[in-house]
Structure 1
Amino acid sequence: MLSEFLDTGDEWIVPRTGIRKRHVISDENIEDLGAEAAMNAIKMSGLDISEIDYFICSNVINEYITPGLSCIISEKIGLSCPCIDINCACPGFIYAMDIAESHFQAGRVKNVLIVCAEEPTRMTDWHDRSTCVLFGDGAAAAVFTAGNNMKGIRLHSQPSTDKIWQKRKLEPTPYITKEEVDVPLQMKGKEVFKFAVNASTTEVEALLNELGITKDQVSYYMVHQANKRIIDAIKNYLNEPDEKFPTNIVDHGNSSSASCAILLDECNRKGMFQKG
């Protein structure tokens, strides 16, 4: 289908990304996907919606500047607890987990709903094959309950405004004298690749050392589904087998913060996980 308006096809896309199929929103809205994922997660948790104490929504882009997507989804599903939006892009699910764990440790909440609802296909220039072939839309959700199940978590940041970015033009005022333009997603692929591999492998090894866990004790590495080459590079650096790295990028592409959560759900439905 891309070949109808873009000089590309599977022979170019698959070897570079590992992606064969993606999902793109058409007549739906991202809040509809997020609401459906939220309700499915709450149902699977066995909780009543009134038992959700806090709601965190990870989202990069949607039609609304305000209200936040968490508010929009809350209204759709009848959720009345406090809610916040975070925009941490691809690692948003992990940042949301860290926020939830902080609230658990403070004794403020018992049950936290996390929704990752992403529409990155609306960020790219669909005539730029270096970016538009990578992304797919999607949403996923999970309910976390206070306990001692979070073994550990590490976050890594390397602030940069030039490796991957998009700029939106704001409403004009009589006092704006600078020129403002809309710029679709821009990405320095090689630099993003290096950062992703270095940060992931460094923090994985640091976390395992911190927890006193060996790689032999790790059943699976749930890696952000950005690019098959990145996943393979992480796997090779850690010297771990293919079976420890479940992937779904071939069918979904990069769905930003929703990617890991979607992968977790798919693996869970296959019965791949056990408690502990």
Structure 2
Amino acid sequence: MIQRPLFFSVLLLVLLLISCSNYIGNEDQYTSPKRWKATFQLQDRKVPIIFELDTVPLNIHGYRVIFIDGPSKNQKEIVKIMGDSLRVALDYFGKFQLKAIMQDHKIQGVFQSQKSMPPLEIPFTAYATNEPRFTPVAKPTYNNATGDWEFTFQADAASPNLDLYQKLHRLKLYQTDSTLVGRGYYNQGFEGIRTENGFVLSSFSQDQPVFFEATFFNGHEVSGTLYTYQEKISFQGRKKSNLESTKEESSTIMTTLWRLFKVYSDYPK
């Protein structure tokens, strides 16, 4: 007979192991008919961002935009489409928005920031597609990016992005065969790939396009550049943890838990 205290002790252990997993899922659904891939021009880099555009009858404006960054979704409800004109409010204070024209299965417009005068505008183009966010390289670096990373940005006190850099100070990254996903503070999500000598990551989680470009100089340290709509800045990164776990390991734990539950449920009381 399986004793109840023993069963719940095993259950607690299994849940603890799951919570310690380094695995981070990816919310991007490549086959979704609502999926769009946008490319933003940040400084001299073209930065890919994924979002879904959907009709929502109960929404006051009838539409919704969801930006998808690895494990994170950033949902926007104030989406107005009038004729071929599209406007997406990115915050509640009217400081950030997308303004675009929709024609022939294409969206072309600007990311607009009212924080500067005159307003700063960053161009973007988007297409409905099932293409991956980044095109994988033929021979990615053998260095494994999975782990907890700490980044130091070379910013001075006059930088307009000090708050953002603080939020990006720590990231947890998980590497799969084809993608790299990440999670930071305040539900900041990232998706990227390994490159020949490092990795790249992009995000729209904090209502603006952001792009990491990193190069390994040993197995646990990188240097690189962070691109935002306001500036680009150098950084140093160090992997603070080399913990590894895989989706398969997490699945095995869940399978074991399910079998224990079935045995416990089926055993005659």
Mark the structure with the bigger radius of gyration.
2
Q: Counting helix residues as a fraction of each chain, which structure ranks higher?
A: 1
Q: Counting strand residues as a fraction of each chain, which structure ranks higher?
A: 2
Give the TM bin, normalised by the shorter chain: under 0.3
Larger RCO: 1 or 2 (CA < 8 Å, sep 6+): 1
